[in-house]
Structure 1
Amino acid sequence: MRRPSPVETRLAAELAEVRPDLVDRYAAELPGARAAVLTRLWRALAHEPLPWVARRVRGAHSLALWLADGRALHGPRADPYATGAYVTAVRLDGEAYDDPARLMTELGWPHSTGFAAELGHSAASLALSRAGQEAGSPEWPGSDWEWEQRVVDGHPFHPNCRSRPGFSAAEQLAYGPEHRQAVRLETVPAAAGDCLLIGDWPAELRDGQRLLIPVHPWQHAHVLKGGPAGPWRDAHPLMSLRTLALDGGTHVKTALTARLTSSVRDISAYSVGAAATLSSFAGDVADRTDGLLHITRTLGAVTAGSPDLAALLRESPQAYAAPGERVLPVAALATTTLPESPSWLAGFTRLALTVGLRLLDLGVALEAHGQNLLVVLSGTGAPLRLVYRDLADIRLSPARLRRHGITPPDLTGRLVTDDETVLRRKLFGSLIAGALAGTAGSGPALATALEAAVRHLPATPDLTALREGPLPTKALTLMRLSPEVPGDQWTALPNPLAAVR
């Protein structure tokens, strides 16, 4: 019998202390969790421009990777848009590996040791996430945060889908949205004169000449090292873990200086300074979509001179639902029966592409992955319109904006570019290779939905690029294996539209 990895053993020992009732369920979930992470890793090995892979030979049902050092990897054919855990093992020079962390360690590439540790965390945390699930209710949730807590497996394509290094079992159970616990937020006081404040800041978060900054309890304990703080309010963790919903609707985005999937989740002064301008501008541009898109407004943002101590207040996407309608993140669609209908998927795909391409043509490239992009459904489940939140990583093109008679906002830095490749990568990689692929669940299903949708869309250079070129997506594994390279790195996936021509 296969031995558990050190991180799996450590998590099991912690569970035995805090939730002994979950130990057996956790052990039972480990093989499936390893397969889910291994499937995501195999997708990366099959499709990313990894310099340690010299050649790929694709068969009808298999894939062989010839490595630069002469070794060979063999596994099943990799559908870059599949979300099921279909890879239970791959063979490296004939030896089977069912553990993604062990495989990465054996590959021995630069930075593979650190990445292997993250893969181990991902599989172990995913098993814990699955172990804590109760029988699902057939009823649709009534609150927006309940939809978010249905998403158990995290990012559908990232091998670090549930990597939470630095979080104990008790902390994951307390703070992970999939475990459905309320989190008591704290506040840290800071002199108003030492803070950058944008927008409005509510009276309950003021104390004379001091601003009270909402802080996640994990951040307070591990990063701020238990400095002065006071309890504030209970909140419900959302998909990003560090963003939480208050009773009454407001969402609070906190700094969380931990590496979740690829990034450390702090809040930069740049993001705070741009928050109000972006919020106002994006809302104005969304008005040009004939009511098909709403942008959640940033109500206030503050930083006390450190990315470790900052927070944003946003309105809830629920504000854009009429009575009888539901608003849910696109990532949560996989928890419903709706994506099983090809006609429903085609209609949703058409809505998403209509909005995404319209904004791109205007000069706004959304990072419309399944967490940032939400859909408003009618009482019968029909997709009506979209809601977008978290503007921190969109891209704006001054040239495109001016071409449409729109004055660009007074912003500089990474948000601003006229590079068409960058703009298209931002939208296509997040919306099509991310949100739509994750909803479709396979290449054939995605191809059918895209083909049904694009024939009704206005002809633009961006649509031509979508139809005729490869589909860009972030090279998530390459990025983890080359941390010395700043910024995003990309790969090109086979265009799903080519399969239906």
Structure 2
Amino acid sequence: MDDRYVSASPAEDVIAGELGAVRPDLIPGYRAALPGARAAVLTRLWRGLAIDPLPWVVRRETGTAGLTMHLTGGLRLRGPHPDPYATAPYVTGVELDGRVFRQAGALVRALGLPYATGFAEELDHSTASLALSRAGAAANGGRPEPVTGWEWEQRVVDGHPYHPNCRSRPGFSVAEQLAYAPEHGAVVELGLAAVPAEASLVTGEWPDSLRDGNRVLIPVHPWQAAHVLKSPPDGPGVIPAHPLMSLRTLAPADGTAPHIKTALSSRLTSSVRDISVYSVETAAAVSEFARILSERLDGKLHFTRTLGAATAHSPELAAVLREAPEVYADAAAGERVVPVGALEAAGLTRSPDWLHRFAPLALSVCLRVLELGVALEAHGQNLLVVLSADGEPLRLVYRDLADVRISPARLARHGLPVPPVAGRLITDDETTLRRKLFGSLLTGALGSAAGSAAVFAEVLAAAMDGLPATEDSRAVLAGPLPTKALTLMRLSPGVTGDQWTTVDHPLG
């Protein structure tokens, strides 16, 4: 079926209409990018439909022609053999009772699932925004080779490698995406909200440059100011900054200041991210804990320190100042720091030999951290690699400790202090700890870097061959691997927290 005859979704038409007003020159590139964006989002959705424990899937049958799902009500859904590690779009259409669907949103609507309407709208928006991102990246194709970390991060165009909402940005107009999204090469002017000292909470070192007499100046993202706070920041001046992969964290354009994590209350993939008052209260203590932990890692892993955090006692008005990962690279020696999620943009994942050198480093270090008592959320955004001048992986950097899991029992065995945190971060449950790390590192960062089950199998086998035999390393090889049930999570709005499923182990 020719994609020229696929009807555009309302979201695709809305973005085309807005482009006509703000960037008409991008319309041809946007239209040309739509078929590929549809396949990319449909591929991600097909992965979720194939592996998530969806209650309306009665059974799945694998045959020579592909996968057939038998659904409640007698419907049958057919598509290609799923590869849970594939990142290239390989699904251009799936068949539901004889009708072929080439758009993820249209397929979800046809399935008639509970909560399908909202999810379908997100999928439509993800598709249209992805086409916009690809068109913008193509228009910026003449940019020089990245040098700084933020330049590498802005080369990541497609977003999350497996989430069907990889580029969903609800509440963002086309003009706002072009102005604030990293892949469009944006420079964002952060406003400063002036909060009386007695009405704010500050931990760590808050710099004098972010104070105005007896007022604390909290950096505010312009989208947050316009759509959530509903008023412009009232403090003096602005901070021009480059948005990173996470959109809400930015690198100041002057290159001298720490990264700024802002409150940005929009659902970009699975959940709304904010900066809780509790996280501000504990920021300094958690950062000190990470420093102590890093001393046990022989210089192979550094944690970016939280230098300061401030909030107006509201998750909607808060900011965190965090060390730039580049602090842990020797610029004079030509070293650079690249997030694992940007390795493909850097051209490194095209070399199996390079992956064979990187995977043992990532696995050995992250398993050692787990043994000490911390399960990292080591996905492609949080985990970064320090590269030598000729591209060799030397050591790792980890940022953002907001969603790790910490085991007091494991820490105690190694004489490490338990940081003053509570709630979901603290657990001694072995399944929870391993699920957190394996689901982010194995079926996330390393799996997506490999880009297919076949390549990942080779890389993982070689990496595991030289690792010490521990309970955790043996668990890596024991049966199916955990991964987040991303599609189920979007179809279960009443369920909080992560939901999980498993995928076939690449080594069989």
Match of 1:302 in 2: 310
Q: Deviations for 1:198-254, whole angstroms, at most 9, x for unmatched residues?
A: 101111111121111100000000100014424411000000000000121410000
| Aligned: 1:490 with 2:500 | yes
What's the offset of the Cα at 1:351?
0.3
Match of 2:490 in 1: 480
| Equivalent-residue separation in structure 1 for 2:158 and 2:348 (angstroms) | 19
What's the offset of the Cα at 1:24?
1.3
| Aligned: 1:36 with 2:49 | no
Match of 2:172 in 1: 167
Q: SS where residue 335 of structure 1 aligns?
A: coil
Q: SS where residue 114 of structure 2 aligns?
A: coil
| Equivalent-residue separation in structure 1 for 2:292 and 2:306 (angstroms) | 14
Q: Which structure 2 residues correspond to residues 435-454 of structure 1 after superposition, within 5 A?
A: 435-454=445-464
| Equivalent-residue separation in structure 1 for 2:143 and 2:485 (angstroms) | 37
* Conservation of the 8 A alpha-carbon contact between 1:357 and 1:462: yes
| Aligned: 1:103 with 2:107 | yes
Greater mean alpha carbon deviation, residues 233-242 or residues 203-212:
203-212
Match of 2:16 in 1: 12
* Among candidates 242, 257, 266, match of residue 236 of structure 1: 242
Match of 1:428 in 2: 438
Q: Which structure 2 residues correspond to residues 324-473 of structure 1 after superposition, within 5 A?
A: 324-473=334-483
Q: SS where residue 344 of structure 2 aligns?
A: helix
| Aligned: 1:191 with 2:196 | yes
Greater mean alpha carbon deviation, residues 58-67 or residues 118-127:
58-67
| Equivalent-residue separation in structure 2 for 1:381 and 1:61 (angstroms) | 41
Q: SS where residue 265 of structure 1 aligns?
A: coil
What's the offset of the Cα at 1:287?
1.7
What's the offset of the Cα at 1:307?
0.6
| Equivalent-residue separation in structure 1 for 2:13 and 2:48 (angstroms) | 27
| Aligned: 1:292 with 2:297 | no
What's the offset of the Cα at 1:140?
4.1
What's the offset of the Cα at 1:413?
1.6
| Equivalent-residue separation in structure 2 for 1:289 and 1:204 (angstroms) | 34
Match of 1:77 in 2: 81
| Aligned: 1:283 with 2:291 | yes
Amino acid at match of 1:239: M
What's the offset of the Cα at 1:266?
1.4
Match of 1:62 in 2: 66
| Aligned: 1:22 with 2:26 | yes
Amino acid at match of 1:154: G
What's the offset of the Cα at 1:261?
0.6
What's the offset of the Cα at 1:476?
0.6
Unaligned runs of 5+ in 1: none
| Equivalent-residue separation in structure 2 for 1:238 and 1:449 (angstroms) | 28
What's the offset of the Cα at 1:146?
0.1
* Among candidates 112, 129, 147, match of residue 125 of structure 1: 129
Greater mean alpha carbon deviation, residues 178-187 or residues 193-202:
193-202
Greater mean alpha carbon deviation, residues 188-197 or residues 252-261:
188-197
Number of paired residues? 498
| Equivalent-residue separation in structure 2 for 1:469 and 1:408 (angstroms) | 31
Q: Deviations for 1:289-334, whole angstroms, at most 9, x for unmatched residues?
A: 1111000010001111111000000010000111211101001101
Match of 1:147 in 2: 152
Match of 2:324 in 1: 316
Amino acid at match of 1:337: G
| Equivalent-residue separation in structure 1 for 2:70 and 2:328 (angstroms) | 51
Amino acid at match of 1:478: L
* Among candidates 197, 208, 211, match of residue 206 of structure 1: 211
Q: SS where residue 267 of structure 2 aligns?
A: strand
Q: SS where residue 82 of structure 1 aligns?
A: coil
| Equivalent-residue separation in structure 2 for 1:8 and 1:321 (angstroms) | 42
What's the offset of the Cα at 1:15?
0.3
| Equivalent-residue separation in structure 1 for 2:169 and 2:118 (angstroms) | 13
What's the offset of the Cα at 1:101?
0.4
* Conservation of the 8 A alpha-carbon contact between 2:483 and 2:500: yes
Change beyond 3 A, Cα 1:375–1:139:
farther
* Conservation of the 8 A alpha-carbon contact between 1:269 and 1:307: yes
* Conservation of the 8 A alpha-carbon contact between 2:221 and 2:263: yes
* Conservation of the 8 A alpha-carbon contact between 1:363 and 1:400: yes
Q: What is the TM-score of this pair, normalised by structure 1?
A: 0.98
What's the offset of the Cα at 1:497?
2.2
| Equivalent-residue separation in structure 2 for 1:493 and 1:290 (angstroms) | 33
Change beyond 3 A, Cα 1:381–1:138:
farther
Q: Which structure 2 residues correspond to residues 265-276 of structure 1 after superposition, within 5 A?
A: 265-276=273-284
Root mean square deviation of aligned Cα: 1.2
* Conservation of the 8 A alpha-carbon contact between 1:287 and 1:293: no
| Equivalent-residue separation in structure 2 for 1:2 and 1:450 (angstroms) | 40
Amino acid at match of 2:251: A
| Aligned: 1:113 with 2:121 | no
| Equivalent-residue separation in structure 2 for 1:384 and 1:136 (angstroms) | 29
| Equivalent-residue separation in structure 2 for 1:38 and 1:88 (angstroms) | 7
Identity of aligned residues (%): 63
Q: SS where residue 288 of structure 1 aligns?
A: coil
* Conservation of the 8 A alpha-carbon contact between 2:225 and 2:233: no
Match of 2:251 in 1: 245
* Conservation of the 8 A alpha-carbon contact between 2:152 and 2:346: no
| Equivalent-residue separation in structure 2 for 1:141 and 1:284 (angstroms) | 33
Match of 1:177 in 2: 182
Q: SS where residue 295 of structure 2 aligns?
A: helix
* Conservation of the 8 A alpha-carbon contact between 2:286 and 2:420: no
* Conservation of the 8 A alpha-carbon contact between 1:30 and 1:127: yes
| Equivalent-residue separation in structure 1 for 2:65 and 2:329 (angstroms) | 45
What's the offset of the Cα at 1:337?
2.6
| Equivalent-residue separation in structure 2 for 1:115 and 1:312 (angstroms) | 31
| Equivalent-residue separation in structure 1 for 2:105 and 2:289 (angstroms) | 44
Q: SS where residue 58 of structure 2 aligns?
A: strand
Amino acid at match of 1:412: A
| Aligned: 1:218 with 2:223 | yes
